Structure 1
């Protein structure tokens, strides 16, 4: 088959227009186009007055060789026509009959899920551990914080089956460079687990929280059906590491909070960005951990209609375009950069803390993206060199400090501190809210967000908001609501690994996903889980053969 790209059509094109456009572009006569399949659909909204769809299609023609010869003579056609990429996923190893111990996967977020799935498909029967609960029970505990201000430290937005991505917009796109077979594997497994088929071809696929709940359950059933074993409410509190005669450190097992030692020679460390106690244990056991940059800021909410109009003009409300998103960045006079993060169209701001006495915000959307407000993180990059020098875990202390300040500023009961944009920009505390109703539960306290953010972050965001208003009309509206604080943008540490995906100083330990500093979202974490499982599978098969 061949892939034809950059096929541009109006938003309201009729059925059959894609086939007609393909035939016209390629000069095909009746009967020469045998089949057509949409591989990708995006939209171009750079001009609000001229928004159109852009397709890539896979086609089968009567004489493929002749068409390719013509493309070789036509530079324009050659740029948009070529062989369809091979997206079939193929396993890189198979479990030997003997000579290996079952691998352990710590964490059931997207990275742990896909690592566990690939290991199970290769026949290695992984043991998958999670400190939290199954997703249905975890959802009840999470609602307990949102509705009753009751935090369950081991079962919340951060911990439990599905990981932090379960309570998110469910975005399945990323800027990572990955083989198309790996990307396709993630999407196809999600579709098989209940995601809508459109995620296979739309440019910015998303799922939403409710669908993610049922999908992680389906993936669990698939993994256990292949011989994998799940153990929930099983927190890893220590690692058995042995130093051999050759001086090399090797993982020999993990220890659970219940005191059980699970013997293993291979561990996937997919613990997520909020497993602060596990980071401490790893550091104490001599695993190479280093501080890394992340970002801190607030969540901002606007009426979704304002964003739709600013992005789409007269096309606002179009069924295909849906709720508008945005991506903003501003480079400030103080040398900092402010940018939008994890934008959730038609969504809500959620309480995302995992530790008592701290307030953390995040964003979430359902598949419909039909809530009244749009929300996004507005965050400022921070670095260990400038902002939290010291030991590799100093970034965690930095996060905790501002989360505690937010808890106090919000009233000490998990309400979040909030401020109107107009008040924030002019430097006065908010005493009431305006036309935009904040979606955060268990509620907000109007106050001064400078109480719970570093001064340089406050200055940078104050400068950025009017600049964003010039980029996106209405963005700096006085009644837009800012809610603090957003601190869990990414892991504050990196657990360094080598080119073979192993810890640089502990054999058998495979740092993976967002918590280890190698992913940033559902999609990239899933891809990283596949890569790590492949590396582990090769290693296990090779060691068994050598034995």
Structure 2
């Protein structure tokens, strides 16, 4: 018998065994419990009425003997207790239909990887094309860029095995609620991710572990008959009678293709331009622009945990901040907050500067960073499908020139920014961006509306987290790749392009996801739609 208990508050440093805690909650003898499985674990540091910091658990309890009907009725009436009845999982396995032409996946980030895994599980043997390099070669390409400023436009933080998420914090949080997420998390764990990602409220893998995970997922796809080609960029699509006939790669290779899964990522600007010329139905999409801000991690820990900051039993603290001034139409929010991480150079085109946040699994750099973003939409950059890309390039190039045209990043202290001065290099923490930085006035590479919103937000955020707007806290520009600037329109049921049969836009690059998990789920769902349409 399985019993689920929700909302069990346990003081964070209480080392009582979960079996005993579960027995107390159920008012049962400990000997009746054979196993306890953690389903969810979250930190509650709100400290209402001076309460301590809690871990909040959801637990599944396996009972090793039959309980009396009276006990069961009593348990069923209790709040936060649920009797889990055995259920028969629906049968979804179907024999694969041998299609005359193998499905093709363009892009090997989360959407492409899990699309490929799903196709392989049903007997299909997809051809996967990735414009960047394998993760080991890519790691060297990125390291070289950070050390020397020599950018490889084909292999960088945006392009290559694992997608942009491989050089990030590896967060697996998402607003998507889909039962397939547990299967995806299981795949991650089997590939080398820590088991805790299956139950933590805010799971993350870390860029260091992700490098191993994506290699192991690749091996699984290859073992199942998938075929993966790195440094192989999709450059053209041949369409006849509104259906895909074949595709062309940068080296002029032509591949027959009747089903193409576009998992291109949010930075494949040249691919968007090619699709636009092919009259694939697309639309401009809102995105965001801003900067990265860095603080000592112990400052964030102290504001979130108080006297318990630094306790090894607590995770490295994060934050989630929002600001909105409806009267003046100003808004700003934190995004991709990286505890114990660093700011990284994330350019994918020459003569452009964009940043991202990254951290390793242990989150032990001692520095916290986050993007501070303001939303922009067609009203700011234009309604043409490609206007958002022009907007991004314009400001990323401004940042490039402002910092010296050498891939150094423009930086400014909060104090200088708020007083419209520049030049202060007495930073609260040494800027972590490499290959280098140059103190400037960030107002010179931000839209006026963004600059004003950021000024207002900093003061607001300082009230939420005292010290956030410290005059020497450093901000690094720019952050512009939080989401895709375009959406490739598709049917909500079939996942297929509205006007091109056989084209399946998926993931962040298609405009339907916003992170590792949502992109992976989107890839799975698109693959399943294709599979069931061929049964």
TM-score (normalizing by structure 1): 0.94
1:83 is matched with 84
Matched, 1:300 2:289: no
> In the aligned structure 1, how far is the partner of 2:469 from the partner of 2:233?
44
1:324 is matched with 317
> In the aligned structure 1, how far is the partner of 2:391 from the partner of 2:323?
24
What's the offset of the Cα at 1:21?
2.2
> In the aligned structure 1, how far is the partner of 2:30 from the partner of 2:140?
58
> In the aligned structure 2, how far is the partner of 1:219 from the partner of 1:208?
16
2:350 is matched with 356
What's the offset of the Cα at 1:436?
1.7
1:544 is matched with none
Whether the 8 Å contact between 1:89 and 1:185 is mirrored in structure 2 is no
Whether the 8 Å contact between 1:2 and 1:81 is mirrored in structure 2 is yes
- The secondary structure found in structure 1 opposite 2:279 is coil
2:73 is matched with 69
Whether the 8 Å contact between 2:41 and 2:199 is mirrored in structure 1 is yes
Whether the 8 Å contact between 2:7 and 2:80 is mirrored in structure 1 is no
What's the offset of the Cα at 1:92?
4.9
- In structure 2, the CA distance between the partners of 1:199 and 1:334, relative to structure 1 (3 Å rule), is same
What's the offset of the Cα at 1:286?
1.0
Matched, 1:511 2:505: yes
What's the offset of the Cα at 1:29?
2.9
- The secondary structure found in structure 2 opposite 1:300 is strand
> In the aligned structure 1, how far is the partner of 2:521 from the partner of 2:342?
27
Greater alpha carbon shift after TM alignment, 420-429 vs 397-406: 420-429
What's the offset of the Cα at 1:325?
0.4
| Aligned with 1:251 (options 217, 225, 244) | 244
What's the offset of the Cα at 1:68?
4.3
- In structure 2, the CA distance between the partners of 1:30 and 1:312, relative to structure 1 (3 Å rule), is closer
Matched, 1:535 2:526: no
- In structure 2, the CA distance between the partners of 1:86 and 1:310, relative to structure 1 (3 Å rule), is farther
- In structure 2, the CA distance between the partners of 1:90 and 1:380, relative to structure 1 (3 Å rule), is farther
What's the offset of the Cα at 1:320?
3.2
- In structure 2, the CA distance between the partners of 1:296 and 1:93, relative to structure 1 (3 Å rule), is farther
Whether the 8 Å contact between 2:244 and 2:501 is mirrored in structure 1 is yes
> In the aligned structure 2, how far is the partner of 1:496 from the partner of 1:259?
27
Q: Which runs of 5 or more structure 1 residues have no equivalent in the other structure?
A: 244-248, 542-547
1:242 is matched with 240
TM-score (normalizing by structure 2): 0.96
Q: Which runs of 5 or more structure 2 residues have no equivalent in the other structure?
A: none
| Aligned with 1:291 (options 280, 284, 287) | 284
- The secondary structure found in structure 1 opposite 2:101 is coil
Q: Please show how residues 442-461 of structure 1 align to structure 2 within 5 Å.
A: 442-461=435-454
Per-residue CA deviation, residues 314-371 of structure 1 (Å, 9 max, x unaligned), is: 1111223221100000003421210000000000000000000000011000001000
- The secondary structure found in structure 1 opposite 2:319 is coil
What's the offset of the Cα at 1:276?
0.4
1:127 is matched with 127
2:203 is matched with 205
What's the offset of the Cα at 1:526?
1.0
Runs of 4+ in structure 1 off by over 6 angstroms are 84-90
Whether the 8 Å contact between 1:176 and 1:524 is mirrored in structure 2 is yes
Matched, 1:270 2:263: yes
> In the aligned structure 2, how far is the partner of 1:85 from the partner of 1:113?
32
Q: How many aligned positions are there?
A: 528
